[in-house]
Amino acid sequence: MVDRTKNGKRPHKENLYQLFAQVAGALANPHRLELIDLLVQAPRTVEELAREACMSVANTSQHLQRLKQARLVSAEREGLHVRYRLADPAVGHLWLALRSMAEQQLAEVEQALDAYRHRRHEFEQISAGELLVRLDKGEAILLDARPAVEYHSGHLPGAISLPVDEVARRLDELPPDRLIVAYCRGPYCVYADEALALLAGAGRQVRRLEEGVAEWQAAGYQLA
């Protein structure tokens, strides 16, 4: 057997794995994963990310620097602020793949999701295919329950921006005789559930689309 430790290539191989570990290490933190999830939705400043993730600006900045060192996010200065975005769409695909693996291997994911989205079984779901048919026939209205900044960064075709905290005062804008479908950041987001609870309480016919913009694109559909 050839002793490959003496041919001088071993250090280069180890360096390759060290670089792979750099990316994995940058992702190996729940706060940094949440920042990635937020940046999938829209580019944001450090201050905006800190507010959404319920962290201090200083702590958020440190996590973003770690992600930037691994080339997972990029940053550009806008006056007094620094705006971050995903360095490449592949980062979003990596996040979806990681999440999918955790769902498959860890039963605790489903339990944690039930605890977080405690109303998720109250609303009938609708598939992307059925939604498109109903929208085309004018039988449904699609609501984007995310913050407006995320809607303007990219949304599902035909969707109306109706952030969850505006639903109660804008009910009269929605036709009472059509199916109302709501979506948000995907299956790990409660905004659509909260919006649907308000709408169902007002007597509207509702359904939940589990997919968000990342899942929609991963399935081969285009964003508006």
Residues of the chain above pLDDT 70, percent: 97
Rounded Cα–Cα distance for residues 135 and 122 (Å): 23
CATH says 116-218 is which class?
alpha beta
The CATH code for residues 4-97 is: 1.10.10.10
Q: pLDDT tens for residues 164-179?
A: 999 999 999 999 899 9
Q: Is 184 a catalytic residue?
A: yes
Burial of 16 (0-12, 13-18, 19+ CB in 10 A): exposed
Global pTM exceeds 0.85: yes
pLDDT confidence tier of residue 9, bands split at 50, 70 and 90 = confident
Residue 10, pLDDT score:
85
Give helix 89-105 / helix 30-41 axis angle, nearest 10°: 130
Q: Which strand (E) or helix (H) includes residue 151? A: helix 148-153
Residue 207: is its pLDDT beyond 60? yes
> Which amino acid is residue 223, in one-letter code?
L
Do the Cβ atoms of 141 and 195 come closer than 8 Å? no
- In the predicted structure, residue 208 carries a pLDDT above the cut 80: yes
Q: Quick one: pLDDT band at residue 78, thresholds 50, 70, 90? A: confident
Is residue 209 scored above 90 in pLDDT? yes
In the prediction, which pLDDT does 95 show?
96
Q: Where are the domains of the chain?
A: 4-97, 116-218
Q: Which of 91, 184, 189, 196 is catalytic?
A: 184
Residue 63 sits at the vertex; the CA angle it makes with 145 and 12, to the nearest 5 degrees, is 120
pLDDT tens per residue across span 18-52: 999 999 999 999 999 999 999 999 999 999 999 99
69 pLDDT above the threshold of 70: yes
81 pLDDT exceeds 90? no
pLDDT, position 4: 61
Q: Does 211 have pLDDT greater than 80?
A: yes
Average pLDDT over the chain, rounded to whole? Answer: 93
Residue 28: how many CA atoms within 13 Å on its side-chain side? 6
Q: How confident is the model at residue 72 (pLDDT cuts 50, 70, 90)?
A: very high
**115 pLDDT tier (thresholds 50, 70, 90):** very high
SS3 per-residue string spanning 24-85: HHHHCCHHHHHHHHHHHHCCEEHHHHHHHHCCCHHHHHHHHHHHHHCCCEEEEEECCEEEEE
- Chain segment 134-173, per-residue pLDDT in tens: 999 999 999 999 999 999 999 999 999 999 999 999 999 9
Q: Is the pLDDT of residue 76 over 60?
A: yes
